[in-house]
Each structure stands twice: as C-alpha cells, then as structure tokens.
C-alpha cells in the first residue's frame, strides 16, 4: 500500500475517532464523572502514556528557552481548550459541539493575523464574518430535544471558546512542533497541561464514586484517554508528515458529519432547522477562509 494512502487512512481514522468522541464522552458526563474531573483523568492518562513512550524513544532535549513557550502553548492547547470543551459538551449536544469545532480554521486565521501579522485577504475577512455569524446563531438560537443538554447556549459558547483556544495553540506551537520530535514535545506539553488543570479538576476528580460506574462507562473513559487523546495525535502527526497541510485540513469538514451520524444512530441527539442552517453558514465561512489559504500556498 502506498505511503500516501496509508497517511490518508491514518488521518481519516483520527477524524472518525474525533467524530464519535462527542457522543462517547457525553455519555460519561455529568452523570458518572463531572467535566473537570474527566479532564484530569484524560490529561493524567495521556501524560503517563507519552512519558512511558519517551523512555523507549530517543527524542533529544528541549532547549531551556523553549520550556516557557511550551508551557504557554499547553495553557491554551490543553488546559483552557479541554476544560472549556468538556464543560461545554456536558451542557450542549454532540452535533452542536462538533459543528462549533469547525470554526477552528477561522480562529487560526484571526490569531495568525494578530500574533505573526499574517495578511488577510478580503475573501478571508468575508469568510471570518460569515463563519462567526453562523457560530453566534448556533450559540444563541441552537436548541436540541436531547434531555442531556441542560444549557445549550452556555454549552455552545464554551465549545466556541475551546475552538478559539485550540486555534491560538496551533499558532503558538507551530514552530515548536516543527523543531522537536513529536514525542518529546507532547510529553512536556501534557505535563505542563496536567499542572495547569489540577487546581481546577482535583475537587471533581475526588468526588468520583468509582464503585458505581458501569463497565461500559469505564470503556468510554478508556476510549477518550487512549484513542481520542493519544492515537489521534500520533495518526494526525503521521498524516501531516506525508501529506500537505491543506489536504489534512479538509478532514475537519468530516467531523460534524461523523458526529451527527453517530449521535443520530445511537439516539443521543436530533437535528432541527437552526442546527442545519447554522452548520451551512459556518461551513461557507470556513470554506472562504481555507480556499483562499490554498490559493496563497500554491
């Protein structure tokens, strides 16, 4: 099998895992594990796994001046990103959350223009406004018939904060990811993240009654730690090493499709006109942003 085909399969598997993760993680929260407590489980598990891998793989060392940069990237890429996402997902529905995450490329463009002074074309500015209008519509008007969604507006807003935080992380970490071995970077990245989330998550973590958690929920927790956090990172990294970034970025459009299909299949969510219209508006905005980026890179 060709290397390109393997890379495409790896990225698709990563996208598929992200897509079904919305429903799988939603089943855990907040009934069995509260959102911040779940974050501590996820980050602690990932930190242990990546540090164990680090003992078996020669990765070099981090330069002294870069520890601070990794810590800042971890603040937005692990702490704020995950805390906002899991808290938001506990309030909103899997479909709404997956659609909101598609705004990440828009946030990357905005932060790139602010931090590294990257010029923005008129078409991209239009895309930003259209995408943000769609996101705002989903935040304020989006509703769901799911009984598990207690505060859809707050939940959608928090998932949007998560998308913005993740976009900022991508801008801050770009040079670091290229500079260091993936395992070396990610083991320190998650270690700093663990330090950041402990003050916010420890109380909810200590409240977990492990004896009352059903076996299938343990499997859900394990899926989030091993597959959503570790496997997807490694698969996407492999994809990025073999494919163009623009090719990999296209797969973000599949996340809401997979998330919606899986959520509807297991009956954890439903569609309504607001979700559909907001989704189309956001997709149009992201298309205008990423289409211009492709033309610029060419």
**Closest C-alpha to 141, from 82, 99, 86:** 99
What's the number of CA atoms in the CB half-sphere (13 Å) around residue 36?
A: 14
> What does the pLDDT read at residue 141?
66
Residue 82: pLDDT over 60: yes
- Helix pair 94-101, 273-297: axis angle to 10 deg: 20
In the numeric block, the tokens 């790139």 are attached to 112
**Rounded distance, CA 188 to CA 186, Å?**
5
**Rounded distance, CA 190 to CA 182, Å?**
12
Task: Judge residue 116's burial from the number of C-beta atoms within 10 Å of its C-beta, 0-12 exposed, 13-18 middle, 19 or more buried.
Answer: exposed
Helix, strand, coil share (%) of the chain residues, nearest 5: 80, 0, 20
**Rounded distance, CA 234 to CA 213, Å?**
29
Q: Among the listed ranges 143-147, 186-190, 268-272, 283-287, which one has the minimum average pLDDT value?
A: 143-147
**Rounded distance, CA 195 to CA 254, Å?**
33
How would residue 139 be classed by pLDDT, with cut points 50, 70 and 90? low
**Rounded distance, CA 101 to CA 118, Å?**
22
**Rounded distance, CA 269 to CA 89, Å?**
12
Q: What is the token pair recorded at 215?
A: 């076996």
The neighbour count for residue 52, using CB atoms within 10 Å, is 11
Give the DSSP per-residue string, 166-189: HHHHHHHHHHHHHHS-HHHHHHHH
> What does the pLDDT read at residue 32?
92
Task: Judge residue 273's burial from the number of C-beta atoms within 10 Å of its C-beta, 0-12 exposed, 13-18 middle, 19 or more buried.
Answer: exposed
> What does the pLDDT read at residue 296?
52
The neighbour count for residue 267, using CB atoms within 10 Å, is 9
In the numeric block, the tokens 């797969």 are attached to 251
Task: Count each helix (H run) and each strand (E run) in the chain, helices first.
Answer: 14, 0
pLDDT tens per residue, range 167-189:
888 788 878 877 888 888 889 99
pTM for this predicted structure: 0.77
Residue 147: pLDDT over 50: no
Q: How many Å is the maximal CA-CA distance in the chain?
A: 57
pLDDT tens per residue, range 216-265:
999 999 999 999 888 988 887 777 777 765 566 667 767 777 777 787 78
């Amino acid at each position: 099998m060709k290397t390109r085909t393997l890379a495409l399969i790896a990225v698709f598997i990563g996208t598929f895992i992200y897509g079904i993760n919305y429903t799988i993680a939603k089943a855990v929260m907040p009934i069995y594990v509260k959102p911040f407590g779940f974050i501590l489980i996820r980050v602690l598990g990932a930190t242990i796994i990546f540090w164990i891998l680090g003992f078996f793989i020669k990765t070099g060392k981090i330069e002294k001046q870069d520890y601070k940069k990794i810590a800042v990237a971890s603040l937005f890429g692990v702490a704020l990103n995950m805390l906002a996402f899991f808290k938001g997902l506990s309030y909103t529905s899997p479909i709404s959350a997956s659609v909101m995450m598609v705004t990440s490329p828009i946030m990357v463009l905005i932060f790139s223009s602010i931090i590294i002074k990257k010029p923005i074309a008129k078409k991209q500015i239009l895309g930003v406004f259209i995408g943000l209008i769609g996101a705002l519509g989903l935040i304020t008007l989006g509703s769901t018939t799911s009984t598990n969604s207690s505060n859809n507006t707050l939940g959608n807003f928090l998932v949007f904060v998560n998308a913005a935080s993740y976009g900022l992380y991508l801008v801050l970490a770009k040079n670091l990811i290229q500079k260091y071995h993936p395992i070396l970077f990610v083991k320190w990245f998650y270690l700093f993240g663990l330090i950041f989330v402990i003050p916010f998550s420890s109380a909810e973590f200590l409240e977990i009654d492990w004896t009352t958690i059903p076996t299938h929920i343990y499997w859900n927790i394990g899926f989030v730690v091993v597959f959503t956090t570790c496997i997807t990172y490694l698969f996407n990294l492999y994809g990025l090493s073999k494919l163009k970034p623009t090719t990999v970025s296209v797969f973000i459009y599949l996340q809401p499709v997979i998330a919606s299909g899986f959520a509807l299949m297991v009956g954890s969510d439903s569609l309504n006109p607001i979700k559909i219209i907001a989704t189309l508006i956001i997709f149009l905005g992201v298309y205008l942003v990423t289409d211009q980026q492709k033309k610029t890179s060419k």
